[in-house]
Amino acid sequence: MHHYYYHYKSHFPLSCSDRVIFLPGRFQNVSISQNETVQAVVSTIPSEVAFITLQFHTQHRNATISYTRMPGLGLSLTAVDSGLVSALRRDQTSLTLFLSSPDGNAVAGTGVILSYSSTDPVPGACNMEFDLEIDPNIYIHYNLYETTIRFAPANLGYKRDGAPPACSQSTGADTRWRLQYDIYQYFLPENDLSERSLFTGFQAVADKQGMMENGKRVMTLKSTDVSSMVFNSIPGQGIIYSVIVRDPLLNTSASYVPAHTYACSFNSTLDSCQTLGKISTKIFFTITGLAGLFVCFFGHRFFKCELFCMGFSFAAFLFFILITRTTELDYDIRLTLSAVLGVVGGIILVMIWWRFGSVVAVVVIVVGLMLGFLLASVVLFTPLGDIDVFRKSDAVFWVTFCCVTLIVPLFFVRWPREGNITTCGIVGAYAVVLAVNAYIYTSLSYITLNILKRLLNNTFTAVFTDVPFQTIDYVMITVWVVLSVCGVVLQLYRERSRPFFPPSPYLMWQQERERRKTNVLDPSHHFPSLPSRLLARVRQLTMRTEPVGEHTPLLL
């Protein structure tokens, strides 16, 4: 394993091969060999320190941290992010804890010791759920849709050798019920799965001061609230979660052991963190991006192609939801079926316009709804979407979403051509963004993905949908805006002197047929009908051709 040395790292030498010396607040990189137990030693502890937290972090391999050399139930914890709290005795000036590898394989990680006084809250000291008596850890569970964090309630601080306050006493101001819990998240750099990036992130936010300065507070829980929180899963994006417990009466605080997740597995042979993008997804969105680029600049001119793309998107999105909610088919099969049904939807939309020539039906309704859907998704992608009334009520969320979606087509009634060109520019450019996301992660994909997740998952309502906004996202926003503006301006300029919409081919054919019937002077009036022309052509192909020449006998 490689060791990375940062400015926080302690430069104290190891006393022996299985002994590592820590100083409070200074990170120490530790490599645990096979079947080895490493002693984590803290010495010269000041008398004002009442308890100490040791936290140890690895990227994806479990490590065991224990009070004793031999790990036991209630005396140890095995995880990628683990920590222990040690309450100190009156004259205690040193402390030894133990690190080991649970599966016998070598593991490398980084650890730090944090010290707290008797007035600081004790994280996890009122644990009633997990194995440790005092459990300062954050437990993470994730699936495709959501990431849940859980932690044990804290208790008030107490002096060395003092009796800890009762956890289930009355809820008065002098009990642990006055404590408050600030939930923080810290996004690691996008598209960076390296160990160096993770360890640098932990060094920035391992203690309370670092997390408050560098992290983002998403919620404050009271002691009467359930000690858990649900977030949006972002596979492949590293996120560090932390909880800082505060005592508002004494104005003190303490940090739980931060925990991280990438919402994916490093050990899976299929769809691991390194191979998140499925080939089928890349193919699908690459074609979508190319079609979107064409629609962005030429959609209104090639009206039938635009209608096909819009009908395809509308039908594919709708049927992907229906197939996913009603079947247990594999993802690739669902995507393929959705694409096939999308093609059918695109053809149907083109045929509706070809047969009836109704601009209202195809532009105002379908194309207008496409733009309305995207704009509503953007509105609820902003921090507005994390307001409690939207998070906790599906009804309020969907009513607001539908209102924004339905308002947009109303403008198409008054300005159909301008609305259609605007939709081509904005929706087509966003399809390019989705194509880029198939290869390089960008948070802009979650504009529509969050809506899709809410439609597919009944419990997604309570999820915080925060996503990181970093350099790549600002670049993609610029690309989206530039493509949209250029596409809209170019099409408006090019179409300024042309008819608003091309006429329906079927209606034109009907008008031409009526004209031929009523105008006997028109040569086309005497032109054979299509069945007659086809029959004559068949006869030409099947009958034997007579030889050219004289057919009468020559006179002698």
Does some domain include residue 361?
yes
Last residue of a domain, one of 261, 290, 320: 261
User: How many domains are there within the chain?
Assistant: 2
| Same domain, yes or no: 396 and 484 | yes
| Same domain, yes or no: 286 and 200 | no
Per-residue DSSP letter, 192: -
Does some domain include residue 408?
yes
Tokens of 2: 């490689």
**What pLDDT sits at residue 516?**
63
**What pLDDT sits at residue 16?**
47
Tell me the one-letter amino acid at 131. Answer: D
Last residue of a domain, one of 261, 291, 311: 261
Last residue of a domain, one of 206, 230, 261: 261
Longest CA–CA span in the chain (Å) reads: 148
- Using CA atoms, how far apart are residues 325 and 127, in angstroms rounded to an integer? 38
**What pLDDT sits at residue 248?**
92
- Using CA atoms, how far apart are residues 270 and 486, in angstroms rounded to an integer? 41
Q: How many residues would you count in the chain?
A: 556
| Same domain, yes or no: 232 and 304 | no
Does some domain include residue 488?
yes
- Could you tell me where the DSSP H helices lie in 5-152? none
| Same domain, yes or no: 234 and 360 | no
Number of helices and strands in the chain (H, E): 14, 17
DSSP letters spanning 491-546:
HHHHTTTS-SSPPPHHHHHHHHHHHHHH-TTSGGGGSPPHHHHHHHHHHHHHSPPP
Does some domain include residue 6?
no
| Same domain, yes or no: 417 and 480 | yes
Contact 154, 254 (CB under 8 A): yes
| Same domain, yes or no: 285 and 249 | no
**What pLDDT sits at residue 479?**
94
| Same domain, yes or no: 287 and 246 | no
Range of the domain at 292: 279-495
3-state secondary structure (DSSP) of residue 41:
strand
Closest CA to 240 of 255, 259, 227: 259
**What pLDDT sits at residue 553?**
52
CATH of the domain at 212: 2.60.40.10
Does some domain include residue 190?
yes
| Same domain, yes or no: 185 and 292 | no
| Same domain, yes or no: 89 and 209 | yes
Give the long-range contacts of residues 300-303, CB within 8 A, separation 24 or more: 300/417, 300/420, 300/421, 300/424, 300/491, 300/495, 301/491, 301/494, 301/495, 303/353, 303/501, 303/502
**What pLDDT sits at residue 4?**
32
Does some domain include residue 482?
yes
| Same domain, yes or no: 229 and 296 | no
**What pLDDT sits at residue 112?**
93
Integer Rg of the chain from CA: 34
Closest CA to 426 of 371, 492, 364, 377: 371
Does some domain include residue 549?
no
Mean pLDDT for back-to-back runs of 10 residues, the chain (556 residues): 34 54 89 87 89 93 92 91 92 91 87 93 92 94 87 93 83 86 94 91 92 93 91 90 94 95 76 71 91 91 88 92 88 90 92 78 83 92 81 85 91 85 93 90 86 80 71 91 94 81 70 64 59 76 60 48
Write down the pTM of the prediction: 0.76
**What pLDDT sits at residue 43?**
85
| Same domain, yes or no: 234 and 334 | no
Contact 472, 480 (CB under 8 A): no
**What pLDDT sits at residue 13?**
37
Contact 300, 428 (CB under 8 A): no
Burial class (CB in 10 A: 0-12, 13-18, 19+), 498: exposed
Does some domain include residue 531?
no
| Same domain, yes or no: 364 and 294 | yes
